[in-house]
Amino acid sequence: MVDSPAISVDALVKRFGVFTAVDQLSFSVARGEIFGLLGPNGSGKTTTINLISGLSEPSGGAVSIFGLDPRRQATAVRRMLGVVPQETALYEELSAWRNLSFHAELFGVPAGERPRRIAAMLELAQLTDRAKDRVSTFSGGMKRRLAIARALLHDPALVYLDEPTLGVDVQARHVIWNYIREMKSQGRTVLVTTNYLEEAEQLCDRLAIIDHGRLMALDAPATLKASYGSTVVELELDTPAPKSLIGFLSALPGVADVQADGAQVKVGLRIADIGPHEEGSGRPVSPGSDRHEAAAALPGILDRVAQAGVRTRRLNLREASLDEVFLALTGRGLRD
Ligand SMILES: Nc1ncnc2c1ncn2[C@@H]1O[C@H](COP(=O)(O)OP(=O)(O)O)[C@@H](O)[C@H]1O
Ligand SMILES: [Mg+2]
On whether residue 281 sits in a domain, the answer given is yes
Q: Tell me, what's the pLDDT at 293?
A: 65
Q: Tell me, what's the pLDDT at 290?
A: 54
Grade residue 279 by pLDDT with cuts at 50, 70 and 90: very low
**pLDDT tens digit sequence for 311-336:** 999 999 888 888 888 877 777 776 65
* Count: domains in the chain: 2
pTM for this structure? 0.83
Closest ligand 1 atom to 40 CA: 22
Mean pLDDT of 227-237: 84
Is pLDDT at 287 greater than 50 in this prediction? no
Q: What is the CATH number of the domain that holds 97?
A: 3.40.50.300
On whether residue 335 sits in a domain, the answer given is no
**Which residue's CA is the nearest one to ligand 1's atom 16?**
44
On whether residue 328 sits in a domain, the answer given is no
On average, the pLDDT of the chain sits at 87
On whether residue 51 sits in a domain, the answer given is yes
- One domain, residues 159 and 273: no
Q: Which ligand is nearest to the CA of 51?
A: 1
Q: Which of 121, 85, 139 has its CA nearest to residue 131?
A: 121
Mean pLDDT of 115-134: 94
**pLDDT tens digit sequence for 237-278:** 999 999 899 999 999 988 888 889 999 999 988 765 444 434
**pLDDT tens digit sequence for 295-314:** 778 889 999 999 999 999 99
Ligand 2 centroid, distance to 301 Cα (angstroms) = 42
Using CA atoms of 148, 151, 155, 156 in order, give the dihedral in degrees to the nearest 10: -120
**Which residue's CA is the nearest one to ligand 1's atom 6?**
16
Closest ligand 1 atom to 14 CA: 12
Q: Which ligand is nearest to the CA of 57?
A: 1
- Fill in the DSSP letter of residue 134: B
For the Cβ of 14 lying below 6 angstroms from any atom of ligand 1, the answer is no
CA distances from 243 to 236, 253, 327 (A): 15, 19, 21
Is pLDDT at 285 greater than 60 in this prediction? no
- One domain, residues 142 and 279: no
Q: Tell me, what's the pLDDT at 149?
A: 92
- One domain, residues 158 and 241: no
Q: What is the CATH number of the domain that holds 313?
A: 3.30.70
- One domain, residues 126 and 199: yes
- The whole domain housing 15 covers 7-220
For the Cβ of 46 lying below 6 angstroms from any atom of ligand 1, the answer is yes
On whether residue 178 sits in a domain, the answer given is yes
Closest ligand 1 atom to 16 CA: 4
Are 84 and 161 within 8 A, CB to CB?
Answer: yes
- One domain, residues 135 and 214: yes
